[in-house]
Amino acid sequence: MSLNEAMAVFGPSWLRVWLPLLMLGGFIAPLVLLIWRKSRLIGAISVVAGIIAAIATDYMYKQMGYVKLLGLAHIIVWTPLIVYLILENRKDGMPVWPKRIITFMIVIIGISLVFDYVDVARYFMGNTVPLVSYEPV
């Protein structure tokens, strides 16, 4: 069972609404930032961060199953990213639409990080049993 299948089957029902929002804020919005010259580096860094976090999360799932620790990849990659986004969004000279998109990304990634920090804390407090284990096909 893939990670996406595990989340769809064993995740809470609100996850079906949240995951498309996370994809929009974490992967699609950074691609849109590539349109403007002043936001291209921000978009490129955000895309790379999203890819790294996705690959790391998938790798962790294949090693440990669907455990609360999966959020650690987001914490490691997205915590510095959100700081960078906040600092870049405060700079003068950024066009209005990139600023709005970056603000949207900060909100979405920030919400995701709250969930991730809570899940990882729960894991370290003893909630280590996988909800489902990865089984290669």
Asked if residue 46 has pLDDT above 90, the reply is: yes
Q: Does residue 27 belong to any structural domain of this protein? A: yes
Q: Does residue 130 belong to any structural domain of this protein? A: no
pLDDT at residue 134 in the model = 67
Query: Is the overall model pTM greater than 0.95, yes or no?
Result: no
Give the domain extent around 56: 3-124
Q: Does residue 55 belong to any structural domain of this protein? A: yes
Give which of 55, 46, 48, 98 is closest to 73, Cα–Cα.
55
pLDDT at residue 109 in the model = 97
Q: Does residue 8 belong to any structural domain of this protein? A: yes
Do 2 and 88 contact (CB within 8 A), yes or no? no
Q: Does residue 135 belong to any structural domain of this protein? A: no
CA atoms within 13 A on the CB side of 48: 8
